[in-house]
Amino acid sequence: MLPYFLSAKPEINMRLQYPQQMKDVVLTGVDGDEIVFRPVGPDRGGRAYLEIDELLRQRGALNFLFPQAFYDAIEDFERGQVLQALPVIREQAKPFIQYLELSELPGNMLPTVLLYLDALTAAEQWREAAEVATQIPLSLAPASVLDRVGHLALALADAEQSSALDRVHRHVLSARMLSDARLAVMLDLAHAWRERSDYLRAFNLYRKIQVSENVYQTRARLWVAYCSFYLGHDLVPSVFLDHLPEMEVSTPGYSLRELIKARLSLRDEDFSAAMRSAAEGKTYANSTDPWYPELLYTVALVYARVDMNEASIAAHRELSISFPESPWARASLKDLETLTP
pLDDT digits (tens, 9 = 90+) for 65-121: 999 999 999 999 999 999 999 999 999 999 999 999 998 899 999 999 999 999 999
DSSP string across 2-53: --HHHHTSPPEEEEEE-SS-EEEEEEEEEETTEEEEEESSS--S--EEEEHH
Q: Residue 323 carries which DSSP code?
A: -
Q: Which amino acid is at 2?
A: L
Tell me the pLDDT of the chain averaged across its residues.
Answer: 93
Q: What is the pLDDT of residue 234?
A: 83
**Tens of pLDDT, residues 151-203:** 999 999 999 999 999 999 999 999 988 899 999 999 999 999 999 999 999 99
Which pTM does this prediction carry? 0.89
Q: Mean pLDDT, to the nearest integer, of 263-277? A: 94
The Cα 66–Cα 87 span in angstroms is 14
Least confident of 75-84, 245-254, 292-301: 245-254
The CATH class of the 251-341 domain is: mainly alpha
Q: Which amino acid is at 324?
A: P
Q: What is the pLDDT of residue 247?
A: 87
The Cα 307–Cα 298 span in angstroms is 14
Beta partners for residue 15, in sequence order: 24, 63
For the chain, count helices (H), then strands (E): 17, 5
The Cα 215–Cα 155 span in angstroms is 29
DSSP string across 238-288: HHHHHTSPP--TTSTTHHHHHHHHHHHHHHTT-HHHHHHHHHHHHHH--TT
Is residue 6 scored above 80 in pLDDT? no
Asked whether 55 and 35 are in contact (CB, 8 A), the reply is yes
What is the 3-state secondary structure of 224-236? HHHHHHHCCCCCH
Question: What are the residue ranges spanned by the domains of the chain?
Answer: 251-341
Cα of 163 vs its chain's centroid, Å: 18
Strands ordered across the beta sheet of 61-64: 48-51, 34-39, 22-31, 12-17, 61-64
Beta partners for residue 38, in sequence order: 26
Higher-scoring residue by pLDDT: 232, 243: 232
Q: What is the pLDDT of residue 242?
A: 80
The Cα 241–Cα 221 span in angstroms is 8
Higher-scoring residue by pLDDT: 140, 55: 55
Asked whether 191 and 226 are in contact (CB, 8 A), the reply is no
Q: Is the dihedral of CA 214, 219, 222, 224 positive or negative?
A: negative
Report strand pairing: 12-17 vs 22-31: antiparallel
Asked whether 221 and 243 are in contact (CB, 8 A), the reply is yes
Q: Which amino acid is at 171?
A: H
Neighbours of 18 (CB within 10 A): 12
What angle separates helix 292-305 from helix 271-284, to the nearest 10 degrees? 150
Q: Which amino acid is at 41?
A: G
Cα of 147 vs its chain's centroid, Å: 5
Let me know the angle formed at the C-alpha of 33 by 30 and 38, rounded to the nearest 5 degrees: 40
Candidates 27, 36, 25; CA nearest to 3 is 36
